[in-house]
Amino acid sequence: MRPVRLLLVALLLASSLGAEERSLLVSGIFADSSIVGPVLQYTTGDRATTEYSLALLGWTIDGEMVKHRSARQAFLLSADITPVNAHSSDRIYLNGERAHELEYEAASYRVRTGLRLTPTEHSTTDLRVAALMERVSDLSDGRVVDFWEGPFVGLDVTHTWKMMRSESPLISSFDGVLISARAEVFTGQETWSRLSVRQSAGRRFGKVHLRESLHAMTGKSLNIVNRFVVGGSWDVQGENAIYGSRFGEFRIARGVIASAGADYALGRNWTAGVRASYLRSDVTRTHGFALNATKMRRTYGFNVGVGFPKDQGGDSDPILFLGVIAPLYAKGYN
């Protein structure tokens, strides 16, 4: 419960920053057959001057300040702390089954600062320098322990282009196109890097909503700590979702995820849908699909469903999943 206490203290500090023109507090919970994760996010400030955000995402506390220098440039400062179970180190899977012998203890601490450039209303580039410290233990591979012995410094660059006609964040649905690319390079005891490119699109045709996404990943000098952690059956995971899988079930150094889905509006704010994913990576090729239902009720968004994984020779039972998102407090939002 330590992350929860830390976040509550941070929220109290944020509320003392002064009068805000806009504030929003959102809570949520996501669960599947293997894990339950809380979500709590608070944003406050003025889009024209300075914005603040604090979030609890599972075991991670994430805070960010965006100070706008002009309509096209902003200063960024962020920090995230995961005191335990960083990178889902307490849940590792191999061929569809828990591999307890590979699980380890991990904590992660990161600080980033830089600039946000917004040359057009659809295009954004974040240029940040970063400092990173990973604390790992209970690993049988001494080379990995030595790899993370000291701090790392590096660059984190993200470019995003999006064209949105409408969004329904409470049920993770949108009508539009989003493309983003991210490059990370760190040096310390060793030098390592990651590159990812994401694309997603959604379009509504009357009562039918179609969606698709692609996520390509690659990197150098990646190990069990800094590999890409993907998997899970929640729409909120976006391009990282692999329907029919557990959260964080796959750790890959390079690969591609392709997903597609369709929803049909049933009335009374109920929607029924189907999702499918395919993963091709350096560790496995797999696929799965899921059936789900979403419901909007006032300011609440509900998602429930069942995922069906490919039989990997292990535990291939259906995976039940649930998501709930609810704004608890809003000021200055229409």
Contact 173, 139 (CB under 8 A): no
Rounded-to-integer distance, Cα 255 and Cα 154, Å:
23
Does the pLDDT at position 17 exceed 90? no
Per-residue pLDDT, 333: 64
Q: pLDDT, tens digit, for every residue of 49-86?
A: 999 999 999 999 999 999 999 999 999 999 999 999 99
Domains of the chain with CATH codes = 2-331 (2.40.160.50)
For residues 39-49, average pLDDT: 91
Contact 37, 247 (CB under 8 A): yes
| Nearest alpha carbon to residue 237 among 88, 42, 95, 85 | 88
pTM confidence score = 0.90
Give residues with Cβ within 8 angstroms of 145, minimum separation 6: 136, 137, 139
For residues 149-177, average pLDDT: 94
Rounded-to-integer distance, Cα 27 and Cα 114, Å:
29
CA atoms within 13 A on the CB side of 51: 16
The H or E element spanning position 239 is: none
Helix spans in the chain (H): 2-15, 142-147
Does the pLDDT at position 207 exceed 90? yes
Alpha carbon distances (Å) from 266 to 17, 206, 292, 294: 45, 12, 13, 10
Kindly tell me the sign of the dihedral angle through the C-alpha atoms of 319, 228, 302, 268.
negative
Predicted confidence band of residue 165 (pLDDT cuts 50, 70, 90):
very high
Regarding beta strands 285-297 and 300-309, do their DSSP bridges make them parallel or antiparallel, or are they unpaired?
antiparallel
